[in-house]
Amino acid sequence: MAEKEYDIIIVGGGPGGLTSGLYGARANVRTVLIEKYMPGGQIAKTDEIEDYPGFEMISGPELAMKMTEHAKKFGLEIVSDEVTEVYCEGEDRLAATASGDRYRGKAVILSTGGSPNLLNVPGEKEFSGRGVSYCAICDGNFFKNQIIAVVGGGDAAVEEAMFLTKFGSKVILIHRRDQLRAQKIIQERAFRNPKMEFIWDTVVESINGDTRVTSLTLKHVKTGEKSTVDVGAIFIFIGFVPNSNIVREGVEKDSGGYIITDARMETSVKGIYACGDVRAQLVRQITNAVGDGTTAAMAAEKRIEELKG
């Protein structure tokens, strides 16, 4: 248990946090980034990325590694720990961690992202890790030549479903409406993929199995008709909940729980900034997170300069 002093404390190592770290460290401001898992955030769990400028196609883990190495090269310190609370003491901003260490600085940047939404149906918790998954890149390989179901209709569901066609004998995408929410270019690619099948206007009522998932009970939302489909796995990509509850003083949020910031990425608590997926904004892309991270770090630097007089 120790108290460590920095200028900028970044919570979370996704693209937003790593970019803040790069800008902070490069400006010679004492900057630490605290991440409970591996740096990279959601991109570390994404198969292929083709919408990050400069890279026509790059694997998520590779981009995460490049961003991490880049920031470290300029002196960013990365600590493996979980931040449990962020709070204020006068003009100081502090982060308490699960290990008992405390980080004291003049600015905190929240880059805490979000956690996947659960379907909340019978069998989901019971079979989690035994056929129920929220990460294709982590678990796809376990289901070679099996029938894989994917739930959701957004970019994540469609892209991850296509990634899963590398493993499954077929991939059935189950969506609650008759139209996908995903970007058109992603949809078109999925419709052309011979291993993809679509079940429309349908929700999963339960996930069934013995020791592992063996089938799903489905319900057609328009007719109410129930059916069963045999699958070896179900991957759930139905959006996520922002991790926005660690500030003791409470920051202003929108109805979805996303943190509201001003144009400097500052939250309603002075000296606490937010960037990336945890922040309320129209889209949640890597490019946004990177832009947010830049602004947050530069705004934090200005605050530190002002406080130093």
CB pairs under 8 A, 24+ apart, for 301-308? 301/8, 301/23, 301/24, 301/27, 301/29, 303/106, 303/107, 303/270, 303/271, 304/7, 304/8, 304/29, 304/106, 304/107, 307/91, 307/106
CB of 163 to ligand NAP, least distance (A): 11
Task: Decide whether 97 or 133 has the Cβ nearer to ligand NAP.
Answer: 133
Task: Decide whether 79 or 236 has the Cβ nearer to ligand NAP.
Answer: 236
Residue 79 near residue 10 (C-beta atoms within 8 A): no
Assess whether 138 carries a catalytic annotation.
yes
Which residue in the list 138, 178, 230, 262 is annotated as catalytic? 138
CB of 117 to ligand NAP, least distance (A): 6
Task: Decide whether 75 or 122 has the Cβ nearer to ligand NAP.
Answer: 122
Task: Decide whether 155 or 266 has the Cβ nearer to ligand NAP.
Answer: 155
CA–CA dist 55, 286 (Å, integer): 12
CB of 28 to ligand NAP, least distance (A): 34
Instruction: By CB under 6 A, name the binding residues for ligand NAP.
Output: 51, 117, 119, 151-157, 159, 176-177, 181, 203, 237-239, 283-285
Which residue in the list 51, 92, 135, 201 is annotated as catalytic? 135
CB of 98 to ligand NAP, least distance (A): 27
Q: Which residue is nearest to ligand NAP (CB)?
A: 154
Which residue in the list 139, 155, 277, 292 is annotated as catalytic? 139
Q: Which residues are catalytic?
A: 135, 138-139
